[in-house]
Structure formats: C-alpha cells, structure tokens
Structure 1
Amino acid sequence: MKTKTKKILTILLLLAIASSVTIFALVTMQSPVRQAITQSELDDLIAASGGTRLTTNPGPDESPVWSPDGTKIFFETRPDVGSGRYSSECYIAVMNADGSDVTRLANGTNPVLHSGKVYFEYYDPVYTELLVTEVMDLDGGNKKKLLSLNERTHLFQAISPDRTKVCYCTYYGTGSYLVWWKNGTVTKEKGNWNIDGDKYNDARQSGEMLMAGPETHSDIWVMNLDESNKVKLASGIESSNCPPRPEWSPDGKKIFFINPVISPETRIENIDIWVMDANGGNKKQLTDRPGYDAGPEFSPDGTKITYLSENQDNFDIWMMNPDGSGKERLTESPGADAGFEWNPDGRRVAYISRSSNGYLYKTEHDFEDKSEIWVMDIDGSDKELLLSIPYPYGVIGGIEWSPDGSKMVFGFHPNYGNDDIYVLDVPAASAIAGVVSE
C-alpha cells in the first residue's frame, strides 16, 4: 500500500544518506542513546511552533491519516505490555482531530483511506506468511477481506486506484553475489556469499568493502483481486540493493517502478525511475542522473511527479512531468530532504529535512543536527520552516496535510521513548488557497 511504501522508503533513504553507507548496512547500526530530555520539554518545543501532542499511549503510535472531512485521524497503535516490551498485536484506531475519543477499530497496520473506506493489512494468525488486506467503513463496520497473499512470494503489493487489481513483485536468486566497494563500484562473483565471504575479511576490516550479498532479480506481476488473470509485466529487474516497489498512477493507466542498473563498463550502480503501461507495454526510463532516483509521488491532479534524487551524498527533491520531461530541482539543502507530501490543492509541497552529518542510531547526538518540517511552492520558491527539532529529542516521521490544508499531522520518533502523533498548525500563507486565518 502507498503509506507502507512511502514509510519504508523514506526511512531507508534517510538513514542510508546519514550514515554514508548503502541501505542494507542498517543492520550494523547501534541502538539509540537515551538523553536526559523529558517528554514535557519535547512537547513545549513543538508547542512553540504551533504543534500539539495527540497520543499518549505507552506503546508506539504511527502512520496517521485524515478522514475526508478532517474531523478524525486514523492511525496504527501497539500496546505496551511492560518491561520495555511491546505487544505483537497492532491495531487500527481512530480519534478526533484534537486527540480525544480514541477507539480501536480492527487488528491491523498501515491504514489507507480511499473513497470513504479504510484499507489496512495484517498477518494471518495461523499462516503467518500470509499478508491479508481488508477494507472497512470509517466506523469499523462492514469488514471485507480483499487479498490474502504469501508475502514471501508476493512482495510490495499495490492495489490499483479502482480497487480491482493488485500489482506485486517476485524475488529469485541468480547464483551469484555482489560486492559494493567504497570507490562506488559493484563487482559480481559467481558463487555463494555465505561460503566465499571470508576471503573479503581484509577488505571489510579496512573499510574498502561496504557490503555484499546474493544477487537477486525481480519480476513485476499484476492480477485481479480474486487472483485470476495473472500477467507478468516485467522480468529480470536487478533487486539486490533496491526492490522495484511498483506504484500505480492516479488514473490506473500506468505503473511506475524503480530499476537499479549496474553499468557493465564502470561497474557503478544507478537507481532510476521507470514507467510502463498497466499491461506492461511501453516501458520507459524517466530519470538518468548518476546515483539514486526513487520515491515518485504524484500531484493531486496527476500532472506532476515529485521524487528523491541523490546529489553528492544527500537527497534533494525534484519534480518532473509523468513522461520524464520538465525536470526541476526543488531543494538544495546540505541535509537529506524527503518525506514530501503535496497539499490538497497541489500548490505547495511539505517535506522533512534532516541533517546529513548525524543520524538517530549513533553513540552521540549533536543539537546542531536537526529534523525539520518545511513547505514550499511547487517551483521550489517561498520555502518556510514550520518546525525544527534537534536530534537529541528524536526525528520527525511521515507528514500528511489535513483536507483543508490548515494543519499537518505527523509521527515523531523520540530518542528516549515510544512513537507519538502530533498535529501542527500551518500558517495561512502555506494553507490551501482560500483558507484565511483571522
């Protein structure tokens, strides 16, 4: 689902940039250091910028989305069962826009609102590899199962806008492994990394080798929600370092995906955005800059796409037309800009900016390194800073505009406790056209 894809991609990209290593080196990161900072200090800091804490659950609360009328917020919540442990149960809950009247609606995660319905996922309690997608009314009634697919064989499932088809990926090995080097090149060797890995010990210890792992490829498939009419749309996509993560265009006529390519001549890996028709025809490469281009996000009217593009070890936000023309760079900050979200009328873009010389999971945190929410016009002008939080407090998660553009709801990942949800007032100049504050 869209929310899940954006959340995972944003976290991986930001942490990858901040640590100056490739994405799959995340497993080596250290646990966060607890700072002598209280919850009230954080709340006061956010309140000074017009923000309010909405959730107080001892367990984590995240993935907030607005109801169509802006009076409710749906989110996922997980109970705290004591001793610093969280329950394996995750719930879809709803609350009023001021944080009151919290109600659990269903077991599940990753809520997405579409046409007045709530779509969500959960793992089958018996067959734990099955990822189940259900839909329900806004009050939790009329639950209906849409999909039940093995996530190991049906990865990155994306339901079409008309809710009749699902696009997904399959993974398979090639019998080779890849080695990523500090100089930016990638080498390919025939064999099994688990057997051959010891011969790279010196390179690993010297820092010349960044990481290594099995070479994997992906195919992209589409089928009806009842699992009929299965069609392969693309095959043999290099996926060792970045999966394709297919996404539908708003009109359901196109499918966008990520395609990593390792140059046979230079052995340097580029990750680009591609598009194809919903039937697999007319495949076209949309980006071709060196490095990583990923995370395409459509404007509300479907005429523009914002995306992340690597620039000298950090990510900036770019914009292009759906056919790849008209590319414009919107941000040029020294940090990592990501987590972007179009406002409802498509005139402004909000985004999260984080320092590139520090990250959450490290031994020390510098108050000069910050996590911030900015807004800008769609041509990159009139940038406004709405919220700035130093790293010792934690980092800002995903953001979402309210339907009238007057507020943003966001998740916050504190460096000392559980995830919480906050709401932030947006100045009238940054809100949707026609909304005027007194």
Structure 2
Amino acid sequence: MRFAIWMLALGTAAVAQQSARFGAQIPIQTEFLGNVQPLTTDGVSRKPHWSTDGQRLLIVSTEAGKCPQAYWIEQGTKERKLASSGKGSVRSAAPILRSRIWIFDSTQDAGEACAETKLGSVPASFNIFLNTDKGKMQRLASATGYDGEVDVSPSEKLIVYTSQASGDLEIWTMEFDGMNKRQLTHSPGYDGDPNFSNDGKRIVFRSHRARSLELQKLVKEELSYGRAYLAPSEIFVMDRKGSDEKQITSFGCTVLHPTWAPDNRRIVFASNLPNCAGEHFELFLVNLDGSGLVQLTTGSKSAGDASFSPDGRFIAYTRDGNVYIADWMAPAPPPDTLSPLSKP
C-alpha cells in the first residue's frame, strides 16, 4: 500500500512539472519509420538487438507457461532458437564476436520461478551470463544485488550494464570475459539502461538523481525491497570511461531504453510524454543537444526498445508486445546540432 501511495505522489508531482514544459504539442513524425513490418505476432516479445551481420535478432520472449527467455529469430523465416538456459527470467541480451557469443541477464541461478516484471523491479537474483553457439555458458557478474540491462561496445571489447555492486544502481563496464569491472557513475539514485554509441566512444543512459538526503533515504529503502525509484528520469550521456557526463533532457517524465541513432547525434527513447503520470509509452527522437524533440509512434500502449541495424538502414522496436522492423527515414539533423560533450 505504501508503495502505491508513493507512486501516486510521483505521478501528481510529474503532472505539475510537465504542464509548464509541454504547453505546445510535440511534433509527430511517424513518416520517419517507413515500411513498418511485424517480426513477431505473439504479443509477448520485446527487447530486439541486431546481430552483427544484420540477418537476425536477439529478442526476449515468453512462451506459454514459461518465463521470458532470450531467442535468436531469423528475419526471413522468423524461426526461433533458444539463446538462454530456459531457466528463470531474462530481460535483455546482446551479441558479441560476430554473434557466435552473446550475453544476457537472467535469474537462472535462483531456480525456475519467474522474476517480477513490474516497471522498477530490480530483483537481486539477476546476474549476467555469456553463452556461445557451442552451448558453453558461464556467469560473468555475481555481485550482491541486481546485475542486468546489458549492451556491448562496437569493438566488442566492453560490456556495459547496470549493477548494484556498490550498493546503489550504477553503470558499470567489464570485458567480455567478466574481467576488469569498472564503475562509471557515482550518483545516488538509479542509473541504468546503458547503450554504446556507434563509434564506441560514448554511452547514453537514463537516470533518476536523488539529490536530497530525504530522497536518498527513500531510494535506499526501496532498493532494499528490490525496487528502483525511476520517476522522473532523464537522459544522460558520458564517455566510455565515465567522464564528461552531461544531462540531455529535463522532461520531468519517465524515459526508458535510450538508444543512439545511426548518426551518433540523436537519441531514440521511450517515454510517457507529455502526460508524465500516464501509463502509455511512445517512441521519441531528440537531438544530442536536447533540441528537436519529435514523436515517432502514436496510438501505442507501450512502444520502446529501439535498436538499429549495423548499417543504420533499419530500426527494430517493440510495440504492444510485438517486435517490428522499419526503414529508418529520419533526415539528418542540422549541422549546428553539436554534442554536449567536450570530448566527443
């Protein structure tokens, strides 16, 4: 009951903030997504991630009576192959080494039970695993607390992820064999959903910064119950070593799954803009300097999880439980739209 009251209070505060920010309608540019085609039709698939050859995708999907697992899915035949262990629950997966090796987060070591799926749930039983096309599986992260939300650098040398290893939810990197773990963020509150830029130099992530002592106490208390304080959250960027961090947005809403556009100068993300207390999420695009906000999808209950093909021609995303693929038709941003980072 206390958690529900807390969420209601968050929503009320968010509505008050958004009313001043979004008096004008956000431009809708659905034509930026061309030739939209469903890759799945089961209503229980999400989190697409392209293979390095652009021929198939790693997705997270739920078969009847089972927990969410990672699957490879072929674009042409739509044939699926299990990519995780089949035990516990999976939330994200990403390929490395020309898709012969891939990583995923999972609760498989905690048994057969499915993990909580409610937004903001961060069960301590989530750890990060590596699997290969030979079926050799190993655990890469085993910190006390939550480890998940994975992505891989284009060089395939670094894994970026969210971890509770320091006691708070922060962004970390490690090598693909699990060595040389390094904490990149150090701010109280949630830092998560990290994603490498296409040149591998920068990382975008979403964050809720707990700036007051009272809020820091609440964040710590909620984390002890396996819950992350997520609203409001904003988009941040930093370099791959955690330096030169900059805040991109100040919406006062909830943002999810920020992803770099192919030009490395814009971010695609999901949000409940402009109704910050709403439960419906659409895809949006914003320039890296915080300008040029446009809405990419309409009429969705939940849209997000954007991922671009290696050649930048296609975008895969989730909408209402299915994965879609579309041509990426967005024009180039203005030449004066510069990175907020001093060292791009």
Q: Shorter-chain TM-score: what band? A: 0.5 to 0.7
Task: Answer yes or no: is the 8 Å Cα contact 2:286–2:294 preserved in 1.
Answer: yes
Match of 2:293 in 1: 385
Q: Bigger radius of gyration, 1 or 2?
A: 1
1:75 corresponds to 2:38: yes
Deviation digits for residues 315-366 of structure 1 (CA, Å, limit 9, x no counterpart): 11111111111111111222234443322121222344424742227xxxxx
Structure 1's 407 and 319: CA in aligned 2 closer, same or farther, altered over 3 A? Answer: same
Corresponding residue SS for 1:244: strand
* Structure 1: 5+ residue stretches without partners: 1-14, 23-44, 54-65, 79-88, 92-107, 174-212, 264-269, 362-369, 434-438
Instruction: For 1:72 and 1:397, locate their aligned partners in 2 and report how far apart those are by CA, in whole Å.
Output: 17
Deviation digits for residues 10-68 of structure 1 (CA, Å, limit 9, x no counterpart): xxxxx9x975579xxxxxxxxxxxxxxxxxxxxxx99x844369xxxxxxxxxxxx8xx
Match of 1:258 in 2: 162
Deviation digits for residues 283-315 of structure 1 (CA, Å, limit 9, x no counterpart): 111101110000111111111111111136511
1:51 corresponds to 2:30: yes
Task: Answer yes or no: is the 8 Å Cα contact 1:300–1:346 preserved in 2.
Answer: yes
| 2:205 aligned residue (285, 288, 307) | 307
Equivalent residue letter for 2:138: V
Structure 1's 303 and 172: CA in aligned 2 closer, same or farther, altered over 3 A? Answer: same
Equivalent residue letter for 1:386: V
| 2:262 aligned residue (344, 350, 370) | 344
1:149 corresponds to 2:85: yes
Structure 1's 221 and 408: CA in aligned 2 closer, same or farther, altered over 3 A? Answer: closer
| 1:375 aligned residue (286, 300, 309) | 286
The structural deviation recorded for 1:162 is 1.8
TM-score by length of 2: 0.62
| 1:238 aligned residue (145, 170, 173) | 145
Match of 1:360 in 2: 279
Equivalent residue letter for 1:375: V
Summarize the alignment of residues 104-115 of structure 1 with structure 2, pairs less than 5 Å apart. 112-114=49-51, 115=53
Match of 2:181 in 1: 283
Q: Which has the higher contact order (CA 8 A, sep 6+)?
A: 2
Equivalent residue letter for 2:277: G
| 1:397 aligned residue (303, 314, 339) | 303
Instruction: For 1:134 and 1:372, locate their aligned partners in 2 and report how far apart those are by CA, in whole Å.
Output: 24
The range that moved more, 328-337 or 285-294, is 328-337
Instruction: For 1:151 and 1:282, locate their aligned partners in 2 and report how far apart those are by CA, in whole Å.
Output: 28
TM-score by length of 1: 0.50
The structural deviation recorded for 1:124 is 6.6
Instruction: For 2:233 and 2:174, locate their aligned partners in 1 and report how far apart those are by CA, in whole Å.
Output: 25
Structure 1's 249 and 151: CA in aligned 2 closer, same or farther, altered over 3 A? Answer: farther
1:293 corresponds to 2:191: yes
Aligned residues: 284
Corresponding residue SS for 2:71: strand
Instruction: For 1:295 and 1:314, locate their aligned partners in 2 and report how far apart those are by CA, in whole Å.
Output: 15
Equivalent residue letter for 1:246: V
| 2:96 aligned residue (160, 163, 169) | 160
Task: Answer yes or no: is the 8 Å Cα contact 1:124–1:130 preserved in 2.
Answer: yes
Query: RMSD of the TM alignment (CA)?
Result: 4.9
The structural deviation recorded for 1:221 is 3.1
* Structure 2: 5+ residue stretches without partners: 12-24, 111-120, 211-230, 338-344
Identical positions, percent? 21
| 1:140 aligned residue (77, 81, 87) | 77
Match of 2:20 in 1: none
Summarize the alignment of residues 174-185 of structure 1 with structure 2, pairs less than 5 Å apart. none
The range that moved more, 332-341 or 320-329, is 332-341
